[in-house]
Structure 1
Amino acid sequence: MAIHRTLATCLVACAALLATACSTPAPPPTLAQVGIYAAGSGSVFLPYAQGIASHLTAAGLKAAPVETTGSVENARRINADPQGMALVLMSTAHEAYTGQAAWTQGVKHDNLRALFPMYEAAYQAVALRSSGITNMSSLRGKRVGVGPSGGPSEVYFKGFAAAVGLDFVPINGTPAELAASVIAGRIDAMFQGGAIPVPGIKTVADAADAVVFGFSGDEVAAVRRVFPYLGESAVPPGTYKGQATALRSVSAWNFALVHKDFPEADAYWITRTVLSVADPTALHALAGPTRAANAVHNTSVPFHPGALKYYQQQGVAGLK
Structure 2
Amino acid sequence: MKLTAILASTTIIAAGAAFAQDVDKSDWPSSFTVGTASQGGTYFAYGSGWANLVAEELGITGGGEVTGGPMQNMALVHTGEAAFGMTTMGPAAESLAGTNPIAPGLEMTQACAMFPMYQTPFSVTALASSGIESVSDIPDGAKIGFGPAGSTSDTYFPRMMDTLGVNYERRNGGWSDLGGQLQDGLLDVIAFAAGVPVPAVSQLEVQTDVNIIEFTEEEQAKLIEAFPVSDFSIKASTYSTLEEDARSVSMWNFSIANCDLPASFVKAAVDVVMSDNERMTGIHKAAASTLPENWDKNKVLKWHPGAAEWFMENAGADIPADMIYGN
TM-score class, shorter-chain normalisation, is 0.7 to 0.9
Determine the structure 2 residue equivalent to 1:266: 265
C-alpha separation in 1, matches of 2:155 and 2:208 = 27
Offset at residue 215 of structure 1 (A): 1.6
Determine the structure 2 residue equivalent to 1:37: 35
CA deviations over 1:258-291 (Å, ceiling 9, x no partner)? 1221221211111112212252324444322222
C-alpha separation in 1, matches of 2:308 and 2:18 = 17
C-alpha separation in 2, matches of 1:214 and 1:129 = 14
Offset at residue 195 of structure 1 (A): 1.9
C-alpha separation in 2, matches of 1:173 and 1:278 = 31
Bigger Rg over Cα: 1
Matched, 1:211 2:211: yes
TM-score calculated relative to the size of structure 1: 0.86
Determine the structure 1 residue equivalent to 2:107: 108
- Superposed, 1:41-80 pairs within 5 Å as 41-59=39-57, 60-80=59-79
C-alpha separation in 2, matches of 1:142 and 1:167 = 7
The AA in structure 2 aligned to 1:96 is S
The AA in structure 1 aligned to 2:183 is I
C-alpha separation in 2, matches of 1:21 and 1:65 = 22
Greater displacement, 80-89 / 167-176:
80-89
Determine the structure 2 residue equivalent to 1:310: 310
Percent identity over the alignment?
A: 24
- Superposed, 1:1-320 pairs within 5 Å as 24=19, 25-27=21-23, 29=25, 30-59=28-57, 60-81=59-80, 84-99=83-98, 105-139=104-138, 140-227=140-227, 229-277=228-276, 279=278, 280-319=280-319, 320=323
Offset at residue 122 of structure 1 (A): 0.6
Determine the structure 2 residue equivalent to 1:3: none
Assess if the C-alpha contact under 8 Å between 1:122 and 1:195 holds in 2. yes
Offset at residue 163 of structure 1 (A): 2.2
TM-score calculated relative to the size of structure 2: 0.84
The AA in structure 2 aligned to 1:158 is P
SS of 1:69 mapped into structure 2: coil
Q: Would the alpha carbon gap of residues 26 and 96 (structure 1) be closer, same or farther in structure 2, given more than 3 Å must change?
A: farther
The AA in structure 1 aligned to 2:122 is Y
Assess if the C-alpha contact under 8 Å between 2:86 and 2:255 holds in 1. yes
Offset at residue 147 of structure 1 (A): 0.4
C-alpha separation in 2, matches of 1:181 and 1:174 = 11
C-alpha separation in 1, matches of 2:95 and 2:147 = 19
SS of 1:176 mapped into structure 2: helix
Assess if the C-alpha contact under 8 Å between 1:87 and 1:254 holds in 2. yes
The AA in structure 1 aligned to 2:43 is F
Assess if the C-alpha contact under 8 Å between 1:83 and 1:262 holds in 2. no
Assess if the C-alpha contact under 8 Å between 1:95 and 1:104 holds in 2. no
Greater displacement, 83-92 / 65-74:
83-92
Determine the structure 1 residue equivalent to 2:6: none
SS of 2:254 mapped into structure 1: strand
Greater displacement, 55-64 / 82-91:
82-91
C-alpha separation in 2, matches of 1:21 and 1:141 = 53
Structure 2, gaps ≥5 residues long = 1-14
Q: Would the alpha carbon gap of residues 74 and 39 (structure 1) be closer, same or farther in structure 2, given more than 3 Å must change?
A: same
Offset at residue 297 of structure 1 (A): 1.4
Assess if the C-alpha contact under 8 Å between 1:39 and 1:46 holds in 2. yes
CA deviations over 1:226-248 (Å, ceiling 9, x no partner)? 32x21110112343233223221
Offset at residue 80 of structure 1 (A): 1.1
The AA in structure 2 aligned to 1:173 is G
Structure 1, gaps ≥5 residues long = 1-19
Q: Would the alpha carbon gap of residues 266 and 21 (structure 1) be closer, same or farther in structure 2, given more than 3 Å must change?
A: closer
Offset at residue 73 of structure 1 (A): 0.8
Greater displacement, 280-289 / 165-174:
280-289
Assess if the C-alpha contact under 8 Å between 2:43 and 2:195 holds in 1. no
Offset at residue 123 of structure 1 (A): 1.3
Aligned length: 300
